[in-house]
Amino acid sequence: MATYLITGGGGFIGSNIAMTLVARGDTVRILDNFSTGRRENLASIEKEIEIVEGDIRSMLTVERAMRGVEYVLHQAALPSVPRSIADPGTTNDVNVTGTLNVLNVAKEAGVRRVVLASSSSIYGNTEILPKHEGMPPSPLSPYAVSKLTCEYYAKVFHQLYSLEVVGLRYFNVFGRNQNPDSEYSAVIPKFCKAIIKNQRPVIYGDGLQSRDFTYVDNVVHANLLACSSPDAPGAVMNIAAGSRMTLNDLFLHLRKAFGSTIEPIYEPARKGDVRDSYADIALAKKVLGYSVVKNLEEGIVLTARHFEEVLRGTLS
């Protein structure tokens, strides 16, 4: 048993990590201001965890949340490329200043390791696929810049202060507890909600853009491995399924899973969106012993069932 702090633990990925840790008997503390995270994501384990409601931009709050903690799984962030384009200042404050607070406090508190959630968006548009960690970053949005800056801070804290930090670059994570109602929702929950409501979902661009859609169980698996792998500190690794699918094919898979015949609407591509995203996961396999525990097709079926259960009654 160990003691974990999950920043952003009320969010999509953080809550999935929390449920897994609780199930295996670890002690879990959550730090979340619930601006994008949701308390209902933690309803099944709320009596078994400690929740500190607060903002990572407050050093005092982070200090309070990190007392007695061995591992920090830093998932808290203000997500979404479009949101960052509309409001780059707030994205920077939450993602960069918040992460700097987490690293500073972790250094002083003597935590054993910090696992940092980063993003495939730092690569930008590249002709080379799959994308590997040796490629130069080329961020296309303030969100991507903020995540890359966090990686640089993590590297410096590891080098200067010997703080064990591991960076995980997530590729298009999806699954249970994703919020389908936000203006900035990811594509899969948006598609699921539209299909269930029998409304035509929007595809921006021609739909031939591709993504390495990664079911959330794989990301949870990677975070736990990153806490224990002896070779992980100082490394930054892609975490993905190691495959890709176009948005058109994704829509067809989801439509089939729901038994629908609805057709999408196509609108112009959005600024800051990456054309193709596909990960080389060899480094994570080597350093972490990472493997894909649920493939894309399995994840799509499980996610469709989840949203069917969660949304069908509320949207009728």
Upper half-sphere CA count for residue 147 (Cβ side, 13 Å): 30
Find the radius of gyration of the CA atoms of the chain.
19
Give the whole-angstrom CA distance, residue 121 versus residue 275. Answer: 11
| Orientation angle between helical segments 216-228 and 12-23, nearest 10 degrees | 60
Q: Is 143 considered catalytic here?
A: yes
**Are the beta carbons of 238 and 282 closer than 8 angstroms?**
no
Extract the runs of DSSP E, i.e. beta strands, from 173-309: 173-174, 202-204, 210-211, 214-215, 236-239, 245-246, 265-267
- For residue 56, give both structure tokens: 């990572």
How many residues comprise the chain? 316
Catalytic residue among 143, 153, 215, 290: 143
Active site residues: 143
